[in-house]
């Protein structure tokens, strides 16, 4: 595991949680569900790209 990438992901993760909370307060749970699905797809693509290298 690359420690540098793990450290870099932390502030981004916190920002993501803040965005999710804001979206939930403003619009309800449907956009939050869509954001979570999109985030999971992006994460899956990143791990797939990392495994190819």
Model-wide pTM > 0.75: no
* Res 26: pLDDT: 83
DSSP secondary structure string for all residues of the chain: --HHHHHHHHHHHHHHHHHHHHHHHHH-HHHHHHHHHHHHHHHHHHHHHHHH-
Average of pLDDT values for 39-52? 82
Average of pLDDT values for 36-50? 85
Q: Is the pLDDT of residue 1 over 50?
A: no
């Amino acid at each position: 595991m690359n420690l540098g990438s793990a450290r870099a992901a932390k502030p981004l993760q916190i920002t993501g949680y803040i965005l999710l909370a804001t979206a939930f307060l403003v619009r309800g749970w449907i956009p939050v569900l869509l954001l979570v699905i999109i985030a999971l797809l992006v994460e899956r693509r990143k791990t797939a790209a990392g495994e190819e290298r």
